[in-house]
Every structure is written in C-alpha cells, then in structure tokens.
C-alpha cells in the first residue's frame, strides 16, 4: 500500500499540525432558537404587535471527534421537566451537523435542524384579558420549523490563521494571526402549522398574510468575513464575523387564496463565531458560541430567525489507530488525483 505523500501547508511558527492524532472532545452545550415576526406598518400605524416564538429546548452533552479533515459530533439532550413543559409546552427537536475541511483554503459545513413545538413569548403583551399567571403563553405544539443549510468558507490566509484550531482543536494556533474569508451558502427555511401561526387577536396587523400557515424560503447568500486569533502562551481568543447579502425566494400557503403567493427578495446576511480557552500540545479546554442568523424580509412582515449554540468542551489528542491511518491513506490514494494530495494531511 502506498503511503499518502503531502506537502507542508502551514507556517510552523504560527500553526502546529497533528496529522496522526485523533481528537476526542466531550462537551456540554446550550441551544437557542428564536423566531421573531414583526409586521410592517399599515396606514402609518407603528403600534402593531410583534411575535416571538421559542421552542422549549435545553442543553445537552456529547462527544466530538476530529480526524485530519473531518469533524463530527454525537450528542444527547437533557430531559425537560414537567413544570417547564407546563409553562412552555413540549418540543421535539432533531439536529445534525457535519464539517469537512476540503483543503486548507476551503471549509464545507452541512446543518439540519427540525423543531416542532413552540410557545409565543409575546402573548402577555396583547392577551391581557385572558392572562393567567399559571399558563402565561400560547402553546403551539403544531408549529414546525425545518432548516437545512449547506455552507462553504474560503480562507485567504490558512497558512498562518487556523480556523480549525479554535473550533475543532485539530490544530493549535501558536502565534496571533488573522485573515479575510468568503462565505457562501444555500439554505431552506420552512415554517408551517395546522392553522395560522399568527394569533387571531393580532391577525389584522398582518393584513392579507394574517391567515398564513405555511411559508417556504429558499435562500442563497454570499459575503465577506474577517477572523483572527489572539494568543498568549497556550491561551487563545478567536472571533469570526461574516456580513453579506441573501437572495430569497418565498412561497406561501394562505387559506382562502386561490393561487400561491410567491416573491423574490434581497436581505442582509450575518453569521458569527466566537471561541476562547486553553489549547496545549496534548490537552485543550474551550468555550464556543456559534450563531446563524437568517434575516427574512417578505412583503408583509420582517422575520429574524436565530439558531445559536453555546458549548463548553475539553479533550485530548491521542495517537490515531494504525488501521484508521491506513484506511484514510488508501482512500485518498484511490479517490483523490495525485496533484490534489498536497491539500490533505
């Protein structure tokens, strides 16, 4: 069997690589998901009711695994208490994420989120007559949101600034460095319910869209970003921010409307990443926060959707099993043309 032959792709004064290490990182996490709807003023009225939907989610725990160009994790959620379910309802949630470092310059990410069961945290603002301190929020267990996103990031300075050192710990940033990035994404965001997800008490604020029960958005975004890591010995602080534009296609299902409403819109794009901690040659510990904002601007209202995740992790770099190394080398030699081997560990 041929051994994979690679070329050095980093400045060793700035980045330490671990090509024959298996990175194990147990973690505990918290999750945030907000769906905010704000109606556009009708006839100059600026006092219309915004809506804030949130699922009843708690954090979880699991383990992340990184090996050469692949990162993935397996996690479990904590059980929701009966008191929490009484106040905020029941939520079912499924999530999947996968990250592939295609080359030192190119990162690919896949995200899948499916959430069912929300509470309207804005209920006390407009339903004061029926407000009950024991049951303050309208519960919508029929409301479902499915979010799928494929994202690519191009790094202009990967030989000195290591994006992966702070978010998968498969490398170590030895000196402070930064760089420009480009972000491109394709996503689907679908919200649906058995009946209108606009409460009857404020439905008139949303005009012709007050009866909406399904909204499908297909979006494509592109924008520049900037990132950097400050180091002090083995301690680090990393920030990454992307700003750009999205092209969005909207498809609505509104009872009583004979034809489906469709429209194209432009909107802003914003993603952020943050991490800090200790990253030694063998052991590491870190805090991370990753936020994906989807800013939707249809005709009738504004929508801000946020999927956020906070994570505390620690772990070790272990010698990878020889069988794993041989399988990886064989796969790259068989599948990847020789001229591209320099991009792989």
DSSP 88: H
Contacts of 224 (CB under 8 A, 6+ apart): 180, 181, 182, 183, 242, 243, 244
pLDDT mean over 183-192: 92
**Cβ atoms 216, 250 nearer than 8 A:** yes
CATH assignment at residue 118: 2.40.128
Which one has a higher pLDDT value, 90 or 133? 90
- C-alpha closest to that of 219 among 286, 137, 171, 151: 151
**Sign of CA pseudo-dihedral 212, 218, 221, 227:** positive
Which tokens in the block code for residue 310?
A: 């906070």
Decide if pLDDT at 178 tops 60.
yes
Contacts of 283 (CB under 8 A, 6+ apart): 314, 315, 316
Decide if pLDDT at 1 tops 50.
no
- Count CB atoms within 10 A of the CB of residue 303: 21
State which of 135-139, 161-165, 261-265 shows the largest mean pLDDT.
161-165
pLDDT digits (tens, 9 = 90+) for 115-137: 999 999 888 888 766 556 666 78
CA distance 92 to 107: 30
Half-sphere exposure of 281 (CA within 13 A, CB side): 0
Q: Counting runs of H as helices and runs of E as strands, what totals does the chain give? A: 4, 15
Which one has a higher pLDDT value, 246 or 297? 246
Please tell me the total count of domains within the chain: 1
pLDDT digits (tens, 9 = 90+) for 14-53: 999 887 888 999 999 888 888 898 887 655 555 678 899 9
CA distance 339 to 330: 16
Asked if the structure places residue 42 within a domain, the reply is yes
CA distance 178 to 162: 9
Asked if the structure places residue 9 within a domain, the reply is no
Asked if the structure places residue 5 within a domain, the reply is no
State which of 33-37, 87-91, 108-112, 276-280 shows the largest mean pLDDT.
276-280
CA distance 238 to 14: 14
Half-sphere exposure of 304 (CA within 13 A, CB side): 12
Asked if the structure places residue 4 within a domain, the reply is no
Residue range(s) defining the domain that contains residue 276: 15-343
Asked if the structure places residue 10 within a domain, the reply is no
Helix (H, G, I), strand (E, B) or coil at 198: coil
DSSP string, 5-60: -----S-TTTEEE-TTEEEEEEEEEEEEEEEEEEEPPSTT---PPPEEEEE----E
CA distance 3 to 241: 38
pLDDT mean over 182-189: 93
Asked if the structure places residue 294 within a domain, the reply is yes
CA distance 3 to 18: 17
The pairing of strands 60-67 and 261-279 is unpaired
**Cβ atoms 168, 160 nearer than 8 A:** no
Asked if the structure places residue 213 within a domain, the reply is yes
Asked if the structure places residue 271 within a domain, the reply is yes
Q: Residues 275-287, buried b or exposed e (16+ Cβ, 10 A)?
A: bbbebeeeebebe
**Cβ atoms 199, 138 nearer than 8 A:** yes
pLDDT digits (tens, 9 = 90+) for 188-214: 999 999 988 888 888 888 877 888 888
In the chain, DSSP assigns E strands to 15-17, 21-39, 51-55, 60-67, 70-77, 92-101, 106-120, 138-155, 171-173, 177-192, 214-232, 235-253, 261-279, 283-296, 301-319
Which pTM value belongs to this model? 0.82
pLDDT band at 4 (very low <50, low <70, confident <90, very high): very low
Which tokens in the block code for residue 333?
A: 């030699």
Q: Residues 90-101, buried b or exposed e (16+ Cβ, 10 A)?
A: ebebebebebeb
């Amino acid at each position: 069997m041929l051994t994979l032959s690679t070329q050095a792709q980093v400045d060793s004064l700035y980045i330490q690589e671990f090509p024959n290490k298996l990175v194990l990182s147990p973690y505990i996490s918290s999750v945030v998901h907000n769906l905010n709807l704000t109606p556009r003023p009708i006839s100059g009225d600026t006092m219309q009711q915004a809506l804030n939907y949130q699922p009843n989610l708690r954090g979880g725990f699991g383990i992340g695994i990184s090996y050469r160009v692949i990162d993935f994790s397996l996690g479990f959620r904590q059980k929701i208490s009966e008191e929490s379910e009484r106040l905020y309802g029941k939520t079912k949630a499924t999530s999947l994420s996968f990250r592939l470092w295609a080359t030192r310059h190119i990162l690919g990410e896949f995200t899948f989120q499916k959430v069912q069961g929300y509470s309207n945290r804005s209920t006390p603002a407009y339903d004061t007559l029926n407000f009950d301190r024991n049951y303050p929020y309208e519960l919508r267990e029929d409301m479902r949101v499915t979010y799928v996103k494929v994202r690519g990031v191009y790094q202009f300075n990967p030989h000195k600034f290591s994006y992966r050192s702070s978010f998968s710990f498969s490398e170590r940033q030895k000196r402070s460095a930064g760089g420009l990035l480009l972000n491109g994404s394709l996503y689907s965001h679908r919200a649906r319910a058995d009946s209108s997800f606009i409460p009857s008490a404020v439905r008139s604020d949303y005009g012709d869209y007050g009866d909406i029960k399904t909204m499908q958005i297909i979006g494509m975004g592109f924008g520049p970003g900037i990132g950097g890591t400050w180091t002090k010995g083995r301690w680090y602080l990393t920030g990454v921010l992307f700003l750009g534009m999205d092209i969005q296609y909207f498809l609505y299902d509104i009872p009583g409307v004979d034809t489906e409403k469709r429209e194209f819109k432009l909107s802003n794009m914003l993603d952020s990443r943050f991490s800090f901690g200790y990253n030694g040659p063998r052991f590491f510990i870190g805090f991370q926060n990753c936020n994906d904002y989807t800013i939707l601007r249809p005709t009738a209202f504004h929508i801000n959707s946020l999927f956020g995740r906070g994570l505390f992790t620690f772990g070790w770099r272990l010698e990878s099993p020889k069988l794993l190394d041989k399988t990886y080398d064989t796969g790259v030699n068989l599948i990847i043309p020789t001229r591209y081997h320099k991009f792989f560990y």
